[in-house]
Every structure is written in C-alpha cells, then in structure tokens.
Amino acid sequence: MPGLDARPPAPPRARRFGYWRPTARRLAVLVAALAAAIPLVPGTASAAPACRVEFTVNQWSGGFTTAARVTNLGAPVTSWTLRWTYTAGQRVTSAWNSVITQSGTAVTATNATWNGTLATNAATDFGFQGTWSGTNPTPTDFTFNNTSCSATPTPSPSPSPSPSPSPSPSPSPSPSPSPSPSPSPSPSPSPSPSPSPSPSPSPSASPPVGCAGAVVCTGFEDQTGTTPGNGWQVVAPNCQGTGTATIDSTMAHSGGKSLRISGGGNYCNHIFAATTANVSTVGPVVYGRMWIRHTTALPANHVTMITMADSAASGRDLRIGGQGGALQWNREIDDATLPEQSPNGIAQSHPLPTNRWTCLRFQIDTTRPAMSTYLDDVEVPGLHLDATPTTDIDSQWLRRPTPPRPTTFRLGWESYGSETDTLWYDDVALSANPLTC
C-alpha cells in the first residue's frame, strides 16, 4: 500500500501502504556565516547575519523530510518568517511546528502560535516533508524577517553603517510567473482568512465537551470561511487529485460546523486538513478523539483517513485507514498493519459505520509498545497493541519495537485505487490526558 510519498503508479500489489524502503541520507547544514561584526570600511557596508539555520535532511527516492532549527542572531522578535529558494523543483507537502507555503521556487515558513517569540540567540525547531526528483540541493539563501542570514558585505556608495538590509533576491513572496503544480498548502492557516465583516459569533466558540485545555480541541466553530484556517491548513502530501477539504455549515455533530473531506478516487489522490498545533508536545501517552461520519463503506482496497508524521520513523506516517472492509492501523516505514491482513486478523477489527456520527478514540504510548482504539467507547480487539505478540493481530507490528512519536495530526483521505468517500470530522481533540466521547 503506497505511502504519502509521490511515486509512480503502484503495481497490482499497491493495496498496501509504504512499500518503499527509504535509504536515509543525513545532511547537516549550518547556514549563517560570520557571527562577528565586520569592521566598516569606506565604500562597503556590512550587516551581521540575522539567523543561523540548520537543516537535517532524511531523503529517499522521490521524497524527504527535513528537521530544521532556526536561531535568532539579532534583536528579540515576537514573530518570525524564514524564506529560502528550492532550485531543483523540490515541493514542500506538509509541515509541523510552523506554517509553510510555497510559490514556484520560493518557500516561506512562519512561526506557529507558540514559537514566534525568540530572544537573541534563542532557537526553535520545526520540520517539513517534501518531494524531489533529479537532485535535492540544500538551500543557502535564507532570510529571517526579510534580513539575510549571510553576513557577506554588500557594496554601498557611502560608508553609512546601515544600508537598510536588502533581502535576498530569490525568496520574494510574490508568486512566480507560472506557479507550478498547484501549491499544496494553498490556504494560509494564519489568523483566519479575511476578517469577517462582523465577529459573527458562531453557534458556540466554546471548546467541545471533555477536551478543554488539550493541545487540539475544536468543533470548528471558530472557522470563519469555507477554507480551514485558525490553526488548520489544507495539505495534499506529495500528490493532489480531485479531493477537497472545506468547512461545512450543513452537517455537524455538535454546534453548527464540521470539517468536510470530499475524497477523490484513483491512485495518489491525497487531501487533508492538518493542525498547526505543536503535536510533538503531547505525551507521554497521546490521546486522540474525534466524531466521524462518512457515506461509503470501507473498501477491500487500502485507504487512509488519519495520518501522523512519526519522528521515531524518520518522519514517515502512522496512519488510520481501512482494508478488507474494516478499520486498521498502518505503519508507513515498514508497511506493518494492525491487525495483520489475514482473515482472522480482519475479523478482529470492525467496519466504520456509515451515515451516522461515530466516536473514534485512540491512545498511543510513546514510551513502550502500547496502543488502543475504540469505536463508541468499545475497544476494537484487532486494533490493540501490547508487548505480548498476538497471532493475527500485533505479531507483525512488534517486529519493530520502537514506539511511535507523532509530530503532526491530519484528517482527510488517501485513495490508492478508485475508491471515493465523503467524510465529516467534528469535536476533534488531541491531548496528553484521557479523553471521552
């Protein structure tokens, strides 16, 4: 079953996720020359570098993840924007701990709500996933809040000590003349798309029952348009088809709004709404809960509805989806499934009911092999993991004992065949504390 990474159309066995075996390549790149001031001489002007950027890249054929760290070398800031250029056709497909958009070759990363304040010499980490072909050179033309992260002297007609720092030419935020294949995270999840003419109090902006204070706790009542914003962004990891992610005011589990996913068919038809919340802070046990409604029974072929980038698996995804007509977990890095895809294993799972709201809950222990999954507060035996192998359920999963460490959380649809579905999500929560329906 193919994973999130862009790859050629799958052969007949493409009913399984993650059939690639990535070959990791670690590149540590420190970009920010000359942290010391350069003495001014007549005829030149020199500015100290604005930041230091470290990119650690893990790549495989056609895809890569990047763990990034940016250090503020200038005055304290309360928000930041980092820009760079991808010169070889690389495309950013999803991000965590930052909001990333791409227009042509220009990439812009802005802080999330919790990591915008950086004192002098303070650093913050973020990451992203992308695609590449041919070559995957690491960028070097970073700017931080429109000031270059390189201290190379620039010509100046007078010895004036501050020639208004000119930002690097490439990362201009204006779109390139031909904006290559529809940028994945088109809608910026920053403050809300255009301020509503009036604060129009949605049915209730209070958090859903049972998750106040959680890292993610939303009934989507704070959404002001049809495009997800306010802490959510639309992403189409690696390849996009006909699917859409919108805010729906005609269907809701509670309140008056929900997230609607119209999932398209055919291979590599990916569409998701991803939270920009700092999922990596949730733990040591990650508790998830959402109400979900869909129209089409889970198919025999593999589909995915929920994905979480797993830092313990080089950023490859941990996924909840379906196969054989029943719910299952899938681990992209080695294609392990829970339960195993035998008749006895599938019989230990359950279908996801159609045309009604169902409460789906899960818990993932990030310190040991332990996972549980519930439908309407009843545990699904085939979706249970513990340290003791159980034939047809978790024996395959335990071959890789490293517990997952989710860093992102996305709700949507991936089709690996011709299957389509329409799904709604509401009252979604992700917490370090137990959640209830």
Indicate whether 54 belongs to any domain.
Answer: yes
Are 133 and 180 in contact by the 8 Å Cβ rule? The answer is no
In a domain, 210, yes or no: no
Instruction: Report if residue 333 sits inside a domain.
Output: yes
Same domain, 253 and 128: no
Please say which residue of 186, 203, 224 terminates a domain.
186
| Number of domains comprising the chain | 2
Residue 27: pLDDT band (50, 70, 90) is very low
Query: Are 79 and 156 in a shared domain?
Result: yes
Own/partner long-range contacts of 191-196 (Cβ < 8 Å, ≥24 apart): 191/229, 191/230, 192/222, 192/223, 192/224, 192/225, 192/229, 192/230, 193/224, 193/225, 193/227, 193/229, 194/224, 194/225, 195/224, 196/224
Angstrom distance (rounded) from CA 92 to CA 86: 9
Put simply, whether the predicted model's pTM sits higher than 0.75 gets the answer: no
Burial class (CB in 10 A: 0-12, 13-18, 19+), 199: exposed
Contact call for residues 73 and 48 (beta carbons, < 8 A): yes
pLDDT digits (tens, 9 = 90+) for 96-122: 788 899 999 999 999 987 789 999 999
Mean pLDDT confidence for 358-380: 95
Quote the mean pLDDT of the chain. Answer: 80
Residues 134 and 275 in one domain: no
Is the predicted pLDDT of residue 246 greater than 60, yes or no?
yes
Q: What is the CATH number of the domain that holds 283?
A: 2.60.120.200
Same structural domain for residues 25 and 146?
A: yes
% of the chain beyond a pLDDT of 70: 76
178 and 236 assigned to the same domain: no
My answer on whether 302 and 419 are in the same domain is yes
- Give every CB contact of residue 210 below 8 A, 6+ residues apart in sequence: 289, 429, 435, 436, 437
**Lowest-pLDDT range of 43-52, 342-351, 384-393:** 43-52
- CA angle (166 as vertex; 163, 171 as ends), nearest 5: 175
- Asked if residue 279 and residue 168 are part of one domain, the reply reads no
Q: Could you tell me whether strands 143-144 and 378-379 are parallel, antiparallel, or unpaired per DSSP bridges?
A: unpaired
Whether residue 436 is contained in a domain is answered as no
* Count of beta carbons in the 10 Å neighbourhood of residue 186: 16
Q: What is the pLDDT of residue 169?
A: 40
DSSP three-state, residue 304 = strand
How many Cα atoms sit within 13 Å of 101 on the Cβ side?
A: 18
Place of tokens 């529809």: 182
Helix/strand/coil for 5: coil
Q: For residue 348, is pLDDT > 50? A: yes
What's the mean pLDDT in 403-410? 95
Domain that residue 406 falls in: 216-431
List the structure tokens of 249. 């005011």
The residue among 186, 208, 229 that closes a domain is 186
Q: Do 296 and 413 fall into the same domain?
A: yes
In a domain, 198, yes or no: no
Give every CB contact of residue 164 below 8 A, 6+ residues apart in sequence: none
Query: What does DSSP assign to residue 348?
Result: T
**Which of 164, 186, 208 is the endpoint of a domain?**
186
Same domain for 242 and 337? yes
Within a domain: 193: no
Q: Does residue 281 share a domain with residue 178?
A: no
- Residue 412 scores a pLDDT above 80: yes
Give me the helices (H) in 249-347, please.
343-347
Residues 231 and 179 in one domain: no
In a domain, 201, yes or no: no
* Distance, CA of 207 to CA of 428 (rounded, Å): 10
Q: Above 70 in pLDDT, residue 175?
A: no
8: domain CATH number?
A: 2.60.40.290
- The answer as to whether 390 is a domain residue is yes
Q: Are residues 379 and 257 in the same domain?
A: yes
Q: Is the pLDDT of residue 191 over 80?
A: no
Q: How confident is the model at residue 360 (pLDDT cuts 50, 70, 90)?
A: very high
C-alpha–C-alpha distance, residues 132 and 111, integer Å: 24
